[in-house]
Structure 1
Amino acid sequence: MTSARSLDKLLREIRACTVCAPFLPLGPRPVLQAGHGAHILLASQAPGIKVHQSGVPFDDASGRRLRQWLGMSEEIFYDREKVAIVPMGFCYPGRAAQGSGDAPPRPECAPLWRKRLMAQLPNIELTVLIGQYALAWHLPEARTMGVTRAVQEWQRWWPHTLVLPHPSPRNNGWLKHNPWFEAELLPKLRERVSLLL
Protein backbone atom coordinates (compact mmCIF):
# COMPACT_ATOMS: atom_id res chain seq x y z
CA MET A 1 0.00 0.00 0.00
CA THR A 2 1.39 3.37 -0.98
CA SER A 3 0.41 6.76 0.32
CA ALA A 4 1.71 10.31 0.38
CA ARG A 5 2.46 9.85 4.09
CA SER A 6 4.57 6.73 3.57
CA LEU A 7 6.45 8.44 0.73
CA ASP A 8 7.20 11.45 2.93
CA LYS A 9 8.50 9.12 5.65
CA LEU A 10 10.79 7.41 3.15
CA LEU A 11 12.04 10.77 1.83
CA ARG A 12 12.93 11.81 5.39
CA GLU A 13 14.93 8.58 5.78
CA ILE A 14 16.74 9.18 2.49
CA ARG A 15 17.58 12.79 3.34
CA ALA A 16 19.07 11.64 6.65
CA CYS A 17 21.21 8.92 5.01
CA THR A 18 24.95 8.95 5.78
CA VAL A 19 25.92 5.48 4.43
CA CYS A 20 28.36 6.94 1.87
CA ALA A 21 29.70 9.74 4.09
CA PRO A 22 33.30 8.38 4.19
CA PHE A 23 33.45 8.48 0.36
CA LEU A 24 31.83 11.86 -0.32
CA PRO A 25 34.31 14.75 -0.54
CA LEU A 26 31.70 17.36 0.47
CA GLY A 27 29.73 15.07 2.80
CA PRO A 28 26.20 13.72 2.35
CA ARG A 29 23.44 15.94 1.02
CA PRO A 30 20.83 13.81 -0.75
CA VAL A 31 19.09 15.82 -3.47
CA LEU A 32 15.88 14.46 -4.99
CA GLN A 33 12.23 15.33 -5.53
CA ALA A 34 9.24 13.00 -5.44
CA GLY A 35 5.51 13.28 -4.90
CA HIS A 36 2.88 10.55 -4.73
CA GLY A 37 0.97 12.04 -7.68
CA ALA A 38 3.93 12.46 -10.06
CA HIS A 39 3.33 11.20 -13.61
CA ILE A 40 6.87 11.81 -14.94
CA LEU A 41 10.05 10.31 -13.49
CA LEU A 42 13.42 11.81 -14.37
CA ALA A 43 16.05 9.19 -13.53
CA SER A 44 19.40 10.94 -13.70
CA GLN A 45 22.98 10.22 -12.56
CA ALA A 46 23.98 12.17 -9.44
CA PRO A 47 23.98 15.82 -8.37
CA GLY A 48 26.83 18.03 -9.56
CA ILE A 49 28.63 20.44 -7.28
CA LYS A 50 26.23 23.35 -8.01
CA VAL A 51 23.24 21.18 -7.13
CA HIS A 52 25.00 19.96 -3.98
CA GLN A 53 25.45 23.59 -2.93
CA SER A 54 21.87 24.68 -3.65
CA GLY A 55 20.08 21.46 -2.71
CA VAL A 56 17.81 21.94 -5.77
CA PRO A 57 17.76 19.20 -8.46
CA PHE A 58 19.10 20.29 -11.87
CA ASP A 59 19.80 23.81 -10.62
CA ASP A 60 22.49 24.27 -13.29
CA ALA A 61 23.13 24.51 -17.04
CA SER A 62 22.12 20.85 -17.49
CA GLY A 63 18.78 21.59 -15.86
CA ARG A 64 18.10 24.56 -18.10
CA ARG A 65 18.73 22.42 -21.18
CA LEU A 66 16.66 19.53 -19.79
CA ARG A 67 13.68 21.81 -19.14
CA GLN A 68 14.01 23.10 -22.71
CA TRP A 69 14.07 19.52 -24.05
CA LEU A 70 10.95 18.69 -22.03
CA GLY A 71 9.17 21.92 -22.96
CA MET A 72 8.59 22.48 -19.26
CA SER A 73 8.54 25.64 -17.14
CA GLU A 74 10.52 25.80 -13.90
CA GLU A 75 7.24 25.95 -11.98
CA ILE A 76 6.06 22.62 -13.38
CA PHE A 77 9.52 21.03 -13.31
CA TYR A 78 9.81 21.67 -9.57
CA ASP A 79 6.27 20.56 -8.73
CA ARG A 80 6.91 17.22 -7.02
CA GLU A 81 3.31 16.14 -7.60
CA LYS A 82 3.95 16.35 -11.35
CA VAL A 83 7.64 15.46 -11.75
CA ALA A 84 9.78 13.12 -9.67
CA ILE A 85 13.54 13.71 -9.99
CA VAL A 86 15.36 10.66 -8.65
CA PRO A 87 19.06 10.32 -9.49
CA MET A 88 20.88 7.00 -9.28
CA GLY A 89 23.03 8.50 -6.55
CA PHE A 90 21.48 11.14 -4.31
CA CYS A 91 24.71 12.87 -3.25
CA TYR A 92 27.50 14.65 -5.11
CA PRO A 93 30.15 11.92 -5.66
CA GLY A 94 33.14 14.19 -6.28
CA ARG A 95 35.31 14.56 -9.35
CA ALA A 96 36.26 11.63 -11.55
CA ALA A 97 39.70 10.15 -10.80
CA GLN A 98 40.66 10.35 -14.46
CA GLY A 99 39.45 12.59 -17.25
CA SER A 100 36.90 15.33 -16.81
CA GLY A 101 33.54 15.41 -15.15
CA ASP A 102 32.18 13.93 -11.96
CA ALA A 103 32.69 10.48 -10.52
CA PRO A 104 29.96 7.86 -11.06
CA PRO A 105 27.05 7.73 -8.59
CA ARG A 106 28.01 5.91 -5.39
CA PRO A 107 27.20 2.18 -5.88
CA GLU A 108 25.59 1.88 -2.43
CA CYS A 109 22.74 4.30 -3.14
CA ALA A 110 20.51 2.59 -5.72
CA PRO A 111 20.45 -0.88 -4.07
CA LEU A 112 19.66 0.73 -0.73
CA TRP A 113 16.83 3.05 -1.75
CA ARG A 114 15.66 2.74 -5.34
CA LYS A 115 13.16 -0.15 -5.25
CA ARG A 116 11.49 1.22 -2.12
CA LEU A 117 11.20 4.65 -3.66
CA MET A 118 9.89 3.41 -7.04
CA ALA A 119 7.21 1.44 -5.16
CA GLN A 120 5.98 4.75 -3.69
CA LEU A 121 5.47 6.33 -7.13
CA PRO A 122 2.41 4.46 -8.48
CA ASN A 123 1.31 7.07 -11.03
CA ILE A 124 4.44 7.28 -13.20
CA GLU A 125 3.50 7.11 -16.88
CA LEU A 126 6.77 8.31 -18.42
CA THR A 127 10.25 7.43 -17.16
CA VAL A 128 13.03 9.51 -18.70
CA LEU A 129 16.42 7.82 -18.32
CA ILE A 130 19.33 10.25 -18.39
CA GLY A 131 22.72 8.65 -18.90
CA GLN A 132 24.23 5.17 -18.67
CA TYR A 133 23.64 4.47 -14.97
CA ALA A 134 19.89 5.09 -15.18
CA LEU A 135 19.77 3.06 -18.40
CA ALA A 136 21.53 0.08 -16.78
CA TRP A 137 19.20 0.07 -13.75
CA HIS A 138 15.83 0.69 -15.41
CA LEU A 139 16.42 -1.14 -18.73
CA PRO A 140 18.86 -3.92 -17.85
CA GLU A 141 18.17 -5.62 -21.19
CA ALA A 142 19.60 -2.51 -22.92
CA ARG A 143 22.61 -1.88 -20.69
CA THR A 144 25.07 -3.24 -23.29
CA MET A 145 23.63 -1.01 -26.03
CA GLY A 146 25.10 2.17 -24.64
CA VAL A 147 23.27 5.46 -24.40
CA THR A 148 23.67 6.58 -28.02
CA ARG A 149 22.14 3.43 -29.49
CA ALA A 150 19.38 3.38 -26.86
CA VAL A 151 18.52 6.98 -27.77
CA GLN A 152 18.56 6.08 -31.47
CA GLU A 153 16.18 3.18 -30.81
CA TRP A 154 13.92 5.24 -28.56
CA GLN A 155 10.70 3.88 -30.11
CA ARG A 156 11.39 0.42 -28.60
CA TRP A 157 10.27 1.61 -25.16
CA TRP A 158 8.00 4.49 -26.15
CA PRO A 159 5.68 5.90 -24.80
CA HIS A 160 6.45 4.68 -21.25
CA THR A 161 10.24 5.00 -21.20
CA LEU A 162 12.70 7.23 -23.03
CA VAL A 163 16.51 7.31 -22.91
CA LEU A 164 18.20 10.72 -23.23
CA PRO A 165 21.83 11.72 -23.43
CA HIS A 166 22.96 13.80 -20.48
CA PRO A 167 21.90 17.44 -21.06
CA SER A 168 25.32 18.68 -19.91
CA PRO A 169 27.11 21.26 -22.07
CA ARG A 170 29.84 18.58 -22.32
CA ASN A 171 27.50 16.81 -24.77
CA ASN A 172 27.33 19.68 -27.28
CA GLY A 173 29.44 17.61 -29.69
CA TRP A 174 27.02 14.68 -29.47
CA LEU A 175 24.08 16.97 -30.23
CA LYS A 176 25.90 18.49 -33.20
CA HIS A 177 26.60 15.02 -34.65
CA ASN A 178 23.04 13.79 -34.04
CA PRO A 179 20.74 16.54 -35.39
CA TRP A 180 17.82 14.06 -35.64
CA PHE A 181 17.63 14.11 -31.83
CA GLU A 182 16.38 17.69 -31.65
CA ALA A 183 14.50 17.53 -34.96
CA GLU A 184 12.63 14.24 -34.50
CA LEU A 185 12.74 12.97 -30.93
CA LEU A 186 12.30 16.13 -28.86
CA PRO A 187 8.99 17.18 -30.49
CA LYS A 188 7.56 13.74 -29.61
CA LEU A 189 8.87 14.06 -26.04
CA ARG A 190 7.34 17.52 -25.60
CA GLU A 191 4.02 16.29 -26.96
CA ARG A 192 3.99 13.39 -24.50
CA VAL A 193 4.97 15.59 -21.57
CA SER A 194 2.23 18.07 -22.45
CA LEU A 195 -0.32 15.27 -22.60
CA LEU A 196 0.68 13.89 -19.19
CA LEU A 197 0.62 17.28 -17.51
Structure 2
Amino acid sequence: MIVSSPTAPSRGHASVYPSLDALLAAVRGCRACEAHLPLGPRPVLRAGATARILVVGQAPGVRVHQTGVPWDDPSGERLREWMGVDRHVFYDESRIAIIPMGYCYPGRGNGGDKPPRRECATLWLDQLLARLPRIELKLLIGHYAQRHFLGSRRKPSLTATVRAWPTYAPDYLPLPHPSPRNQPWFKHHPWFERQLVPVLRTRIHALVER
Protein backbone atom coordinates (compact mmCIF):
# COMPACT_ATOMS: atom_id res chain seq x y z
CA MET A 1 0.00 0.00 0.00
CA ILE A 2 1.34 3.43 -0.95
CA VAL A 3 1.53 5.89 1.92
CA SER A 4 0.59 9.36 0.77
CA SER A 5 3.07 12.20 1.11
CA PRO A 6 3.28 15.75 -0.20
CA THR A 7 6.13 14.74 -2.50
CA ALA A 8 4.44 11.68 -3.99
CA PRO A 9 1.76 12.76 -6.49
CA SER A 10 -0.46 10.29 -8.24
CA ARG A 11 0.51 9.13 -11.71
CA GLY A 12 -0.15 11.40 -14.64
CA HIS A 13 0.89 14.67 -12.99
CA ALA A 14 4.21 15.34 -14.74
CA SER A 15 3.06 18.90 -15.48
CA VAL A 16 3.32 19.68 -11.75
CA TYR A 17 7.10 19.89 -12.23
CA PRO A 18 8.41 22.60 -14.56
CA SER A 19 11.69 20.83 -15.33
CA LEU A 20 13.59 17.58 -14.99
CA ASP A 21 15.59 19.09 -12.12
CA ALA A 22 12.39 19.91 -10.26
CA LEU A 23 11.08 16.39 -10.84
CA LEU A 24 14.35 14.84 -9.62
CA ALA A 25 14.22 16.99 -6.51
CA ALA A 26 10.72 15.71 -5.81
CA VAL A 27 11.79 12.10 -6.32
CA ARG A 28 14.75 12.54 -3.97
CA GLY A 29 12.40 13.95 -1.37
CA CYS A 30 9.87 11.13 -1.71
CA ARG A 31 8.81 9.42 1.52
CA ALA A 32 6.00 7.29 0.10
CA CYS A 33 7.22 3.97 1.51
CA GLU A 34 9.34 5.24 4.41
CA ALA A 35 7.72 2.86 6.87
CA HIS A 36 8.95 -0.14 4.88
CA LEU A 37 12.61 0.88 4.51
CA PRO A 38 14.94 -0.44 7.25
CA LEU A 39 17.57 2.26 6.65
CA GLY A 40 15.11 5.00 5.82
CA PRO A 41 14.53 6.68 2.46
CA ARG A 42 17.43 7.83 0.33
CA PRO A 43 16.43 7.73 -3.35
CA VAL A 44 19.48 7.25 -5.57
CA LEU A 45 19.20 8.11 -9.25
CA ARG A 46 20.79 10.43 -11.82
CA ALA A 47 19.55 11.87 -15.10
CA GLY A 48 20.09 14.69 -17.56
CA ALA A 49 17.69 15.79 -20.27
CA THR A 50 20.26 15.15 -23.03
CA ALA A 51 21.13 11.59 -21.97
CA ARG A 52 20.98 9.00 -24.75
CA ILE A 53 21.54 5.93 -22.57
CA LEU A 54 19.38 4.76 -19.67
CA VAL A 55 20.72 2.25 -17.15
CA VAL A 56 17.88 0.47 -15.36
CA GLY A 57 18.93 -1.76 -12.49
CA GLN A 58 17.14 -3.20 -9.46
CA ALA A 59 17.57 -1.11 -6.30
CA PRO A 60 20.51 0.32 -4.34
CA GLY A 61 22.45 -1.93 -2.01
CA VAL A 62 23.73 -0.90 1.41
CA ARG A 63 26.94 0.65 0.07
CA VAL A 64 25.10 2.74 -2.51
CA HIS A 65 22.61 3.79 0.16
CA GLN A 66 25.53 5.00 2.25
CA THR A 67 27.34 6.89 -0.53
CA GLY A 68 24.36 8.09 -2.54
CA VAL A 69 26.26 7.19 -5.72
CA PRO A 70 24.58 4.60 -7.99
CA TRP A 71 26.60 1.54 -8.92
CA ASP A 72 29.38 2.59 -6.54
CA ASP A 73 30.30 -1.00 -5.75
CA PRO A 74 31.87 -4.10 -7.33
CA SER A 75 28.75 -4.62 -9.46
CA GLY A 76 29.22 -1.14 -10.87
CA GLU A 77 32.86 -1.83 -11.64
CA ARG A 78 31.89 -4.84 -13.71
CA LEU A 79 29.06 -2.96 -15.41
CA ARG A 80 31.42 -0.17 -16.45
CA GLU A 81 33.86 -2.79 -17.75
CA TRP A 82 31.09 -4.33 -19.85
CA MET A 83 30.16 -0.90 -21.19
CA GLY A 84 33.77 0.06 -21.84
CA VAL A 85 33.51 3.39 -20.01
CA ASP A 86 35.27 4.94 -17.04
CA ARG A 87 33.63 6.55 -14.03
CA HIS A 88 33.82 10.01 -15.60
CA VAL A 89 31.69 8.96 -18.58
CA PHE A 90 29.41 6.68 -16.56
CA TYR A 91 28.46 9.46 -14.15
CA ASP A 92 28.09 12.13 -16.83
CA GLU A 93 24.36 12.82 -16.53
CA SER A 94 24.32 14.58 -19.90
CA ARG A 95 25.15 11.24 -21.53
CA ILE A 96 23.95 8.47 -19.22
CA ALA A 97 20.84 8.42 -17.01
CA ILE A 98 20.73 5.93 -14.13
CA ILE A 99 17.24 5.11 -12.88
CA PRO A 100 16.70 1.78 -11.07
CA MET A 101 13.36 0.09 -10.61
CA GLY A 102 13.53 0.93 -6.91
CA TYR A 103 15.26 4.08 -5.74
CA CYS A 104 15.90 3.22 -2.07
CA TYR A 105 17.57 0.28 -0.35
CA PRO A 106 14.72 -2.19 0.28
CA GLY A 107 16.35 -4.27 3.03
CA ARG A 108 17.46 -7.88 3.25
CA GLY A 109 15.36 -10.84 2.27
CA ASN A 110 15.99 -14.55 1.93
CA GLY A 111 19.37 -15.00 0.27
CA GLY A 112 19.95 -11.37 -0.62
CA ASP A 113 18.34 -7.96 -0.85
CA LYS A 114 14.58 -7.71 -1.14
CA PRO A 115 13.03 -6.88 -4.53
CA PRO A 116 12.75 -3.21 -5.46
CA ARG A 117 9.59 -1.65 -4.09
CA ARG A 118 6.91 -1.01 -6.69
CA GLU A 119 5.98 2.46 -5.46
CA CYS A 120 8.92 4.00 -7.31
CA ALA A 121 7.82 2.87 -10.76
CA THR A 122 4.16 3.53 -9.99
CA LEU A 123 4.69 7.10 -8.82
CA TRP A 124 7.68 8.32 -10.77
CA LEU A 125 8.99 6.24 -13.67
CA ASP A 126 6.62 7.40 -16.40
CA GLN A 127 7.19 11.01 -15.39
CA LEU A 128 10.96 10.59 -15.52
CA LEU A 129 10.90 8.87 -18.90
CA ALA A 130 8.76 11.67 -20.30
CA ARG A 131 11.54 14.09 -19.33
CA LEU A 132 14.20 12.03 -21.14
CA PRO A 133 13.20 12.36 -24.80
CA ARG A 134 16.64 11.61 -26.25
CA ILE A 135 17.11 8.15 -24.78
CA GLU A 136 18.05 5.72 -27.57
CA LEU A 137 19.20 2.70 -25.58
CA LYS A 138 17.90 1.21 -22.35
CA LEU A 139 20.09 -1.29 -20.52
CA LEU A 140 17.73 -3.62 -18.66
CA ILE A 141 19.78 -5.15 -15.86
CA GLY A 142 18.14 -8.07 -14.11
CA HIS A 143 14.68 -9.55 -14.41
CA TYR A 144 12.81 -6.76 -12.60
CA ALA A 145 13.78 -4.21 -15.24
CA GLN A 146 13.21 -6.73 -18.02
CA ARG A 147 9.77 -7.64 -16.72
CA HIS A 148 8.72 -4.00 -16.52
CA PHE A 149 9.98 -2.81 -19.89
CA LEU A 150 9.62 -5.95 -22.02
CA GLY A 151 6.37 -7.25 -20.58
CA SER A 152 5.03 -10.20 -22.57
CA ARG A 153 8.04 -10.05 -24.90
CA ARG A 154 10.24 -11.32 -22.07
CA LYS A 155 11.32 -14.97 -22.32
CA PRO A 156 10.59 -17.54 -19.59
CA SER A 157 13.99 -17.04 -17.94
CA LEU A 158 16.57 -14.29 -17.61
CA THR A 159 19.10 -16.39 -19.51
CA ALA A 160 16.71 -16.87 -22.42
CA THR A 161 15.85 -13.17 -22.43
CA VAL A 162 19.50 -12.12 -22.49
CA ARG A 163 20.29 -14.67 -25.20
CA ALA A 164 17.45 -13.26 -27.32
CA TRP A 165 18.90 -9.73 -27.17
CA PRO A 166 18.69 -9.18 -30.98
CA THR A 167 14.91 -9.41 -30.61
CA TYR A 168 14.90 -6.29 -28.43
CA ALA A 169 17.53 -4.22 -30.25
CA PRO A 170 18.08 -1.39 -30.91
CA ASP A 171 15.93 0.09 -28.12
CA TYR A 172 16.81 -2.38 -25.37
CA LEU A 173 19.69 -4.60 -24.31
CA PRO A 174 18.79 -7.07 -21.54
CA LEU A 175 21.70 -7.91 -19.25
CA PRO A 176 22.29 -10.14 -16.24
CA HIS A 177 23.07 -8.40 -13.00
CA PRO A 178 26.86 -7.83 -12.77
CA SER A 179 26.98 -8.79 -9.10
CA PRO A 180 29.93 -10.94 -7.99
CA ARG A 181 27.30 -13.37 -6.70
CA ASN A 182 26.45 -14.11 -10.34
CA GLN A 183 29.93 -15.46 -11.09
CA PRO A 184 28.57 -19.00 -11.63
CA TRP A 185 26.20 -17.62 -14.30
CA PHE A 186 29.06 -15.93 -16.14
CA LYS A 187 31.11 -19.12 -15.94
CA HIS A 188 28.32 -21.25 -17.40
CA HIS A 189 27.39 -18.75 -20.12
CA PRO A 190 30.66 -17.63 -21.73
CA TRP A 191 28.77 -16.57 -24.86
CA PHE A 192 27.59 -13.48 -22.97
CA GLU A 193 31.02 -11.86 -22.76
CA ARG A 194 32.10 -13.20 -26.16
CA GLN A 195 29.02 -12.15 -28.12
CA LEU A 196 26.93 -9.57 -26.30
CA VAL A 197 29.51 -7.48 -24.45
CA PRO A 198 31.26 -6.38 -27.69
CA VAL A 199 27.88 -5.32 -29.10
CA LEU A 200 27.13 -3.43 -25.90
CA ARG A 201 30.44 -1.56 -26.03
CA THR A 202 29.98 -0.62 -29.66
CA ARG A 203 26.50 0.80 -28.99
CA ILE A 204 27.65 2.65 -25.89
CA HIS A 205 30.66 4.23 -27.57
CA ALA A 206 28.58 5.33 -30.55
CA LEU A 207 26.08 7.07 -28.27
CA VAL A 208 28.44 8.70 -25.76
CA GLU A 209 30.67 10.11 -28.50
CA ARG A 210 27.83 11.86 -30.37
The alignment's TM-score, normalised by the length of structure 1, stands at: 0.95
Task: Kindly state the Cα deviation for residue 143 of structure 1 after the two structures are TM-superposed.
Answer: 3.9
For 1:196, the equivalent position in structure 2 comes to 207
Kept in 1: contact 2:44–2:65 (CA 8 A): yes
For 2:113, the equivalent position in structure 1 comes to 102
For 1:124, the equivalent position in structure 2 comes to 135
Question: Percent of counterpart pairs with the same letter?
Answer: 54
Question: How many Å separate the matches in 1 of 2:202 and 2:193?
Answer: 13
- Provide runs of 4+ in structure 1 moved above 4 Å: none
Question: How many Å separate the matches in 2 of 1:154 and 1:188?
Answer: 10
Q: 2:167 pairs with 156, 159, 167, which one?
A: 156
Tell me, what secondary structure is at the counterpart of 1:150?
helix
Unaligned segments of structure 1, at least 5 residues: none
| 1:161-176 → structure 2 map (5 Å cutoff) | 161-176=172-187
Amino acid paired to 1:55: G
Amino acid paired to 1:11: L
Unaligned segments of structure 2, at least 5 residues: 1-13
Amino acid paired to 2:176: P
For 1:141, the equivalent position in structure 2 comes to 152
For 1:27, the equivalent position in structure 2 comes to 40
The alignment's TM-score, normalised by the length of structure 2, stands at: 0.89
Kept in 1: contact 2:52–2:134 (CA 8 A): yes
Residue 21 of structure 2 is aligned to residue 8 of structure 1: yes
Kept in 2: contact 1:135–1:142 (CA 8 A): no
| 1:27-46 → structure 2 map (5 Å cutoff) | 27-46=40-59
Amino acid paired to 2:174: V
Cα deviation code 1:47-89 (max 9, x no counterpart): 0000000000000000000000000110000000100000000
For 1:182, the equivalent position in structure 2 comes to 193
Counting matched residue pairs gives 194
Cα deviation code 1:108-155 (max 9, x no counterpart): 111110000010000001100001110111111234522111100000
Question: How many Å separate the matches in 1 of 2:71 and 2:189?
Answer: 23
